[in-house]
Structure 1
Amino acid sequence: MNHLKHNYKSTFILALIFLVLFASWISLVVTHSFIINNLDSFFIKIICNTNPHNIAFAKMFTVLGNTSTITTITVILFLILLIAKKNLSASFLAIVMILANLSNLILKNIVQRPRPQVKHLVYASGYSFPSGHSVGSAALCGVLIIFTLYLIKKRWLKILLIIILLSFPILIGYTRIFLHVHYPSDVMGGFIEACSYLFLTLAIYKYLEYKKDLEINF
Structure 2
Amino acid sequence: MISPAKLNMLRRTRVKIHKALAQAGLLSAELVLVFVACLISLVIFSWMVKKVIINKQDEFDFAVFQWMETYINPINTSLMQGITFLGTHTFLIPANLLLTAYFLFIRKHRWYSIKVASIALSSTAMMFLLKNFFSRERPLIPLLRPAMGYSFPSGHSMMSFAFYGLLIYLTYKYMKRPALKVATIILLLLLIFLIGISRIYLRVHYASDVLAGFSVGIIWLVFSIGLLNRLEYYSKRNLQEVVEE
TM value normalised by structure 1: 0.84
Could you tell me which of 196, 199, 214 is aligned with 2:219?
196
The SS at the match of 2:55 is coil
Instruction: Choose 1 or 2 for highest CA Rg.
Output: 2
CA distance in structure 1 between the aligned counterparts of 2:175 and 2:162, rounded to whole angstroms: 19
Question: Which 10-residue stretch deviates more, 16-25 or 160-169?
Answer: 16-25
The corresponding residue for 2:154 is 131
Question: Which 10-residue stretch deviates more, 97-106 or 152-161?
Answer: 97-106
The corresponding residue for 2:186 is 163
CA distance in structure 1 between the aligned counterparts of 2:28 and 2:184, rounded to whole angstroms: 27
CA distance in structure 1 between the aligned counterparts of 2:133 and 2:47, rounded to whole angstroms: 15
> Are the aligned partners of 1:136 and 1:194 in contact in 2 as well (CA < 8 Å)?
yes
The corresponding residue for 1:68 is 90
> Are the aligned partners of 1:15 and 1:197 in contact in 2 as well (CA < 8 Å)?
no
The SS at the match of 1:182 is coil
Question: Which 10-residue stretch deviates more, 20-29 or 91-100?
Answer: 20-29
The SS at the match of 2:140 is coil
What percent of counterpart residues are identical?
29
Q: How big is the shift at 1:173? A: 0.9
> Are the aligned partners of 2:139 and 2:204 in contact in 1 as well (CA < 8 Å)?
yes
CA distance in structure 2 between the aligned counterparts of 1:44 and 1:97, rounded to whole angstroms: 30
In structure 2, the gaps of 5 or more residues are 1-19, 241-245
CA distance in structure 2 between the aligned counterparts of 1:113 and 1:206, rounded to whole angstroms: 34
> Is residue 44 of structure 1 aligned with residue 52 of structure 2?
no
The SS at the match of 2:86 is helix
* 1:164-217 deviation digits (Å, cap 9, x = unpaired): 11011111111110011100111111111110111112222444566679988x
Equivalent residue pairs, number: 215
In structure 1, the gaps of 5 or more residues are none
CA distance in structure 2 between the aligned counterparts of 1:105 and 1:31, rounded to whole angstroms: 19
The SS at the match of 1:48 is helix
Question: Which has the bigger relative contact order, CA under 8 A and spacing at least 6?
Answer: 1
CA distance in structure 2 between the aligned counterparts of 1:168 and 1:118, rounded to whole angstroms: 25
Residues 114 and 179 of structure 1: CA distance in aligned 2, closer, same or farther (over 3 Å): same
The SS at the match of 1:124 is coil
The SS at the match of 1:74 is helix
